[in-house]
Structure 1
């Protein structure tokens, strides 16, 4: 799909409950304001009567899980690339935990939730899928609220 002339990925959600709709709107409002080179960018969302969509930055390559475990995957991940991927993930988590206005605990970091962009030799790892994420207000790390269950 295209959004404002840019190729994007669109995630269609199943019909959520009223609570899930509130969480969906919170996720769109909150996460679309987060911009970091190691987070998949959420451009926005659409919520209609029977249609709920999230519009994300398009990543050229598959997930880290596919890159590591699929024998048919065309990218070769040498040790430098693997270290760069780990560093990118760490930078993204540092931003979420320490540098963002509202602190976010992802709660589901795994190879399937790391997408790869860029070109071979210059891969960029980005964290995605904030469906289980939790928000922590600044100065009140004990107060946690669920972002969304996408």
Structure 2
């Protein structure tokens, strides 16, 4: 029986949603949500590399972002908080995609839209133009 075949028994809420993937998260959720624990250790929701990149390009307020391989939505969260007008984040790993959806629900990322699939195929058929394309930690999967 897989995690998607189980009925949740806890009190409905954000922690119960995160616990669907208990002990599987890589990312630690942001300090503003210290009331919930993902179990992950990497500070990908507060990643200084993303803050640095946003600063180097003069900010992203009102910009469109294409993110390739969002993992668990940590960098997406930072783009959303930095004022991106819209973020399309393409994740091929189905567990990663579902974690992104949980993160979006728990943290609120109104400018984010997560897509499940291969970003190479997306790039082949997509006609949209974006102000920024961000890909972190995806090349070794290719």
Calculate the TM-score normalised by the size of structure 1.
0.24
User: Which protein is bigger by CA-based radius of gyration?
Assistant: 1
Structure with more helix by fraction: 2
Calculate the TM-score normalised by the size of structure 2.
0.25
Structure with more strand by fraction: 1
